[in-house]
Amino acid sequence: MPYIVREQIRLYYEIHGEGAPCIFLHGLGADHTQILQSMHQYPSIQMIVVDQRGHGKSSLDVNFNFAEMVEDIRALVTYLKLNHFFIGGISMGAAVSLAYALRYEESLLGLILVRPAWLDGPMRVELQSWFTFLGNHLALPDGKQRYQESEHYAILKRMHPRVASSFLHFLKILLQELHRKNLSIYQNNNQSKVLAC
């Protein structure tokens, strides 16, 4: 399994195919498989996917912010000796890609932003509290019930009922998959994998 290490953070990555390199980043709470499952593999594109810090097989650090995540990608680019490449991402991955493009524009062939959740700055405070709540409750046996009884869910259901319903379905599938694999969303030392930026 390929890893690079940057400032004691182990970052897992995979390379698929040959051709023009494209680093594509997953969204918050996901991992590299989000990209592999949702993107068609083109024969002329070399898809490079990475588990960003605190996600998937990568380790977690207290410095969970865009600046550090950009430097994680820069370390991968340096390690792989990529001169020019495409970068893109989904949701949080789009935000990291945008932040990377603003800092290292000269190395990019193009930028692909899919469902950007926010720009190149911190997430709004009310969203931070929502993700923190989720991270602290999802792995508990009654996590779904706690979520449905929370103020966060009530607000989401009132403002966006379809999103609230969709998230409950996602939560059910996530918990079933974690149970099937005998895993939890928690990493070492009960640190949550779902964190706010």
DSSP 124-151: PHHHHHHHHHHHHHTTSTTHHHHHHTSH
36 lies in the same domain as 95: yes
For residue 55, pLDDT over 60 is answered with: yes
81 lies in the same domain as 166: no
Residue 159 forms part of a structural domain:
yes
For residue 33, pLDDT over 60 is answered with: yes
Residue 33, Cα to own-chain centre: how many angstroms? 10
52 lies in the same domain as 98: yes
Number of domains forming the structure of the chain: 2
Residue 197 forms part of a structural domain:
no
For residue 1, pLDDT over 80 is answered with: no
For residue 37, pLDDT over 80 is answered with: yes
Q: What is the mean pLDDT of residues 77-101?
A: 93
Instruction: Provide the residue range defining the domain that includes 165.
Output: 125-190
Give first-to-last CA distance, the chain, whole Å. Answer: 27
Tens of pLDDT along 103-126?
Answer: 998 999 988 888 776 655 566 676
Residue 52 forms part of a structural domain:
yes
104 lies in the same domain as 10: yes
69 vs 160, more confident: 69
